[in-house]
Amino acid sequence: MKFEAKGLAKSFAGPPIFRDVSLSAESGLVAVTGRNGSGKSTLLKIFAGLMRPSRGSVDIWSDGRRLAEGERGDAIGWASPELEFIDELTAAENLSLLSRAAGRPKTSGAIAGLLDAFGLARAAHDRRVGEFSSGMKQRVRLAFSLLLEPPVLLWDEPYSNLDQQGIDAARALMNGRRETGVVILATNDRRDIEDADDEVSLS
């Protein structure tokens, strides 16, 4: 499996916020860095297929075959502070219905296991997301990114609002995933990406 982005540029009714961004990775941790407003979150949204680039392309190759658009969406997991869930549903209900809407329904056991990995086992079934703290919501976002077991993970500021236990859980998962797939992490904190295998720096 290979993640490939070529010549990406994005502008919003003005000069491009970034241009000529290219990246190719088969596994490992890729850091996306840059000052505030440099387009890190926008770049990750383009990688995730949630936004169209002004120029360039994003592809995923598997066994020498370029994945079609629908397959590509499932192959990429994304978590961002912008991501929200329905307040009136529990975390487990949110993830279960989203997996069913994606056409890849997960059993309640699989979803419980996923949320448990982020320390949300009990709260995920007992409490609605609207009652969650900001740190708990961040854990649900990270769990959501892993919902369809994607080989490519895009994490935008993944440790924001997390306590040390949450950070440790997220780091452990990330370290496991980077061995077998690609983890692309956008952050302002250099400590999070000290051991990155590659870096995309946006100025």
Partner 1 sequence: MKSPFPSRAFAVFLRDARRELRRRTTLAAVLFFAAAALILISFSLASVALPAGDRAKLNAGVLWILLFFSASSGLPRSFVREEESGTALALRKTAAGEAVLVGKFLFNFLLFLAIAAVAVPLFCLLQSWTPANPWSLAIVLLLSGFGVSFVSTFLSAIVSRAGQKDILFVLTALPLLMPLLLPAVEATAHAAADPAFAAIDPVWKVLLSYDGLATVGGLVLMRFVWEG
Residues at the contact surface with partner 1, assessed by CB under 8 A: 48-52, 70, 73, 78, 80, 82-89, 93-94, 97-105, 128, 144, 147-148
Q: Report the distance separating Cα 156 and Cα 32, nearest Å.
A: 9
d(CA 157, CA 134): 13
- Give the nearest distance from C-beta 191 to partner 1 in angstroms: 27
> Nearest distance from residue 194's CB to partner 1, in Å?
29
Task: Rank residues 102 and 172 by Cβ distance to partner 1 and give the closer one.
Answer: 102
Reduced to 3 states (helix: H, G, I; strand: E, B; else coil), residue 4 is strand
Q: State the Cα–Cα distance between residues 128 and 125, nearest whole angstrom.
A: 8
Q: 3-state DSSP call for residue 11?
A: coil
CA distances from 101 to 94, 104, 108 (A): 11, 8, 15
Q: Please, which residue, 23 or 48, has the CB nearer to partner 1?
A: 48
Nearer to partner 1, 47 or 159 (CB): 47
Contact 25, 198 (CB under 8 A): yes
As measured in angstroms, the least distance from the Cβ of 93 to partner 1 is 7
What's the closest the beta carbon of residue 48 comes to partner 1, in angstroms?
Answer: 7
Report, in Å, the least distance between residue 165 CB and partner 1.
24
Of 80 and 138, the one with the shorter C-beta distance to partner 1 is 80
Residue number, 13 or 101, with CB nearest to partner 1: 101
Supply the minimum distance, in Å, between the C-beta of residue 83 and partner 1.
5
- Cβ proximity to partner 1: between 28 and 73 the closer is 73
Closest CA to 42 of 14, 2, 9, 76: 9
Classify residue 63 as left (phi > 0), alpha (psi -120 to 50) or beta: left
CB distance 42 to 49 below 8 Å = no
